[in-house]
Amino acid sequence: MRLLILLFCLTVLTNCDANNTITTDGNSDANNFTNDTTHIKSDSIKHYLALGDSYTIAESVESSKSFPAQLRDCLNETPEMDVDLEIIAATGWTTRDLIDAVEKGAKRTTYDLVTLLIGVNNQYQGKSFRIYENEFTNLLERAIKLAKNNKSNVIVVSIPDYAYTPFGYNGNDNKISKEIDKYNNFAMVTATTYGVNFVNITDITRQGLIDTELVAKDGLHPSGKAYEKFVERICPKAKAIIK
C-alpha cells in the first residue's frame, strides 16, 4: 500500500518540470492561465508599414538601428501602445522595384502609419527624372490607400545626400547634391499637394564629412546615430498620427 502511494506521488511530481511549468492533459482548467501579464488590448496594437530601399532597411547597420525600428521603439514609449512593424524595402531598389514589391502584396490591407523614402537609386542609376515623377506619385497614392485611405497617416521622408560620405565625395562639385535636391523638391511638393506629411532629414546627412559617426562603416549609408536623428524629427509627427 505504501509503495502504491509513493508511486502516485512520484507521478504527480513529474508533471512539473524544472521551471515549475505545469503540464496538463489538455482538459484541465490550468490551460486557461498564461504567463503573459501585459494584457495588451487589441485596439492598442498599431500597424506601421515602412516602404523604401537601403535607407529603410539600414544597410550596413544593425536592423534594430534602422529608422523604422527606432521609430517603432519611440512610438512604443507611449503607455499601452504596441506598434507592429512591417518593412518592404531592399538595397538597390528604384521606384519601379518598390512598386513591383507592393503589387505582390503586403501582409495587411491597411495600416495605421506608412512611411515612404525612395528615389536615390533612380538618381544613382541615371534614370529619367520623368520616371521618378510618375512612379513616386504612383507610390504615394498606394501608400495613402494602404494607410486606410487617410493621407494624414502617411509620412514621406526626404532622400539622404550620399555626396557627404567617403563613397560619394568627389571634390564636392555639388552635382550629386543638386540632383538629390531636385528629387526631394519634387517629393515635398507632391506630398504637400496630396496633403501628406513631409519630413526633411537631408541636412543631417550633409554633416557626414564633418561628423563621421553619422556614416556607417561601409562609407556610404547613414549610421545608427544618423537614423536616431531622423527619428527625432519623424516621431513627433508619427505620434500625432498614432494616438
pTM above 0.75, yes or no: yes
Residue 39 has pLDDT above 80, yes or no: no
Predicted local distance difference test score (pLDDT) of residue 44: 73
Across all residues in the chain, what is the average pLDDT?
86
Residue 5 has pLDDT above 80, yes or no: no
C-alpha R_g of the chain: 24
Q: Dihedrals φ, ψ of 163, to 5°? A: -65, -20
Q: What is the pLDDT of residues 11-30, one digit of tens each?
A: 333 333 333 322 222 333 32
CATH, domain range 42-241:
3.40.50.1110
Q: Dihedrals φ, ψ of 196, to 5°? A: -100, 145
Q: What is the pLDDT of residues 74-128, one digit of tens each?
A: 999 998 899 999 999 999 999 999 999 999 999 999 999 999 999 999 999 999 9
Band (62; pLDDT cuts 50, 70, 90): very high
Q: How far apart are CA 37 and CA 34, in angstroms?
A: 8
Predicted local distance difference test score (pLDDT) of residue 171: 67
Predicted local distance difference test score (pLDDT) of residue 25: 29
